[in-house]
Structure 1
């Protein structure tokens, strides 16, 4: 019986580790979109990982695991943000634009980082992490219609920023 319990615990731990490994980059990216420096984002991700581990036994639907984990990360990042904002240096943000190193991608990421915090989180979850609008709404704790309208406003702001920055 004890051996069976150990096997279940090992499987539980392996599922959790796989979930974190699979979503680590997304967790950092969404935390970084809310917070102004890497250290704060790393702290938020660490706290989110701890919180997720403590609550992992209550997760009933593995299909919702990614949005559940990102919601925890958003909440931890917001808590960290409330503790005190730091200065953002645009040069520090460019590496987090994604895989592509093209100037347009970098310009877009810089514009995203200039958006207000709620818009940054929404845009990052939707475009950079590939969540559906329903998943974004769930992660941010808002209604789907609200997420859609905020996303539309954020896109408009981004368009204006990029047009203003264009030579």
Structure 2
């Protein structure tokens, strides 16, 4: 395959998958800036491996694996251990003009807060299983873990999400 054909195939992949990768990255890390960085890192690695990736059974699975592994690598970097400031300037709260919709209106904040509270492993499983819609086996393969780990992490994560999100629900009942 000529370089121009390779580049065009990669451009086409990015054009159709960038938004989905960005949303998944945001769900994994909970920060617009970091999500942009994560997707950029993923695409650089994917481009370098494109001849091999394009021959894989599923380019999407290959890209997901690169995204998850890149996220794991980022968490290992010393500067990622910094603690976020309690108050950010107003212009820093909304990312780089990238709006990622996960829930509806106020549900988005509650859902993102609940996801942030999950341990990283549980968050990855939830994103792969419930955002990407992968099976237990596909999730295990993407994460390099057993299916039992995926099942237990999913169970714990969904229970934790239910607890956090139910605390945000208004109490139902009669009039005061």
TM-score by length of 2: 0.75
Measured after TM superposition, the shift of residue 58 of structure 1 is 1.4
Residues 1:96 and 2:93 are matched in the alignment = no
State the match for 1:35 in structure 2.
29
Shift of 1:88: 8.2
**Cα distance per residue 1:26-46 (max 9 Å; x no partner):** 322332233353222212211
Structure 1 equivalent of residue 68 of structure 2: 74
Measured at CA, do residues 114 and 125 of structure 1 come closer, stay the same or move farther in structure 2, by a change above 3 Å?
A: same
Residue 10 (1) aligns with residue 13 (2): no
The answer to whether the aligner puts 1:153 opposite 2:156 as a matched pair is: yes
Cα separation, partners in 2 of 1:97 and 1:149, compared to 1, 3 Å: farther
Is contact 1:30-1:121 (8 Å) kept?
no
Q: Could you tell me the TM-score, scaled by structure 1's length? A: 0.78
Counterpart of 2:142?
A: 139
Which consecutive unaligned segments of at least 5 residues does structure 1 have?
Answer: none
Q: Output one character per residue of 1:107-165: Cα deviation in whole Å (capped at 9) or x when no partner.
A: 23331222111111211122222233222222211122211221111111111112223
**Greater helix percent: which structure?**
1
Indicate whether 1:114 and 2:117 are aligned: yes
Equivalent pair of 2:28/2:127 in contact (CA under 8 Å): no
Aligned pair 1:87/2:112, yes or no?
no
Greater displacement, 65-74 / 102-111: 102-111
CA distance in 2, matches of 1:88, 1:135: 37
Question: Alpha carbon RMSD of aligned pairs, Å?
Answer: 2.6
Which ranges in structure 2 are unaligned for 5 or more consecutive residues? 87-92, 171-176
Mapped to 1, the partners of 2:155 and 2:85 lie a distance apart of 25
Task: Name the counterpart of 1:52.
Answer: 46
- How many equivalent residue pairs? 158
How far is the alpha carbon of 1:9 from its aligned partner? 2.7
Give CA deviations for 1:69-122 in whole Å, capped at 9, x if unaligned: 011011112212222145287x769x5342x53434542333122211111121
How far off is 1:49 after superposition?
0.7
